[in-house]
């Protein structure tokens, strides 16, 4: 398989999902689509905040992942697992940053923290 086709099928697909999530965010709490954790599904305020923040982070890091994977494919056309590592890192960083922001602005019961 061509390294560029491989990058498009792995990191390109991730970037496509990030665009879909960014431009078509979930409006209401659901168990099918969006950034879903037990905490984000507690109330609509947390749901909106978490999905808005996650979608922005996901778009940024998926774009970085795609560019990075293409650079790897240019440097070494015999890439194997590197694009997958970039994919996992993209998702992990997006989730960790979102959880940090949730901890900063909401308590464990889902109420907005007072400044």
At residue 52, what are phi and psi to the nearest 5 degrees? -65, -50
Q: How many CB atoms within 10 Å of residue 23?
A: 9
pTM of the model: 0.89
CB 66 within 8 A of CB 14: yes
pLDDT score at 62: 95
Residue 83: CB partners within 8 Å, gap ≥ 6?
6, 7, 10, 11, 65, 69, 72, 73
Instruction: Spell out the per-residue pLDDT of the chain, length 115, in tens.
Output: 788 888 888 999 999 999 999 999 999 999 999 999 999 999 999 999 999 999 999 999 999 999 999 999 999 888 888 889 999 999 999 999 999 999 999 988 888 887 6
Query: Which of 57, 58, 67 lies closest to 18 in space, CA to CA?
Result: 58
Domain boundaries, the chain: 3-22+39-105
DSSP one-letter code for 115: -
């Amino acid at each position: 398989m061509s390294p560029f086709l491989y990058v498009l099928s792995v990191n390109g697909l991730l970037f496509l999902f990030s665009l879909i999530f960014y431009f078509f965010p979930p409006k209401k709490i659901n168990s099918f689509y969006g950034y879903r954790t037990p905490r984000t599904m507690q109330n609509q305020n947390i749901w909106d905040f978490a999905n808005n923040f996650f979608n922005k982070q996901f778009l940024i890091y998926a774009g970085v992942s795609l560019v990075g994977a293409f650079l790897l494919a240019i440097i070494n056309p015999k890439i194997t697992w590197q694009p997958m590592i970039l994919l996992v890192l993209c998702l992990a960083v997006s989730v960790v940053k979102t959880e940090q922001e949730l901890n900063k602005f909401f308590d464990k019961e889902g109420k907005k923290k007072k400044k």
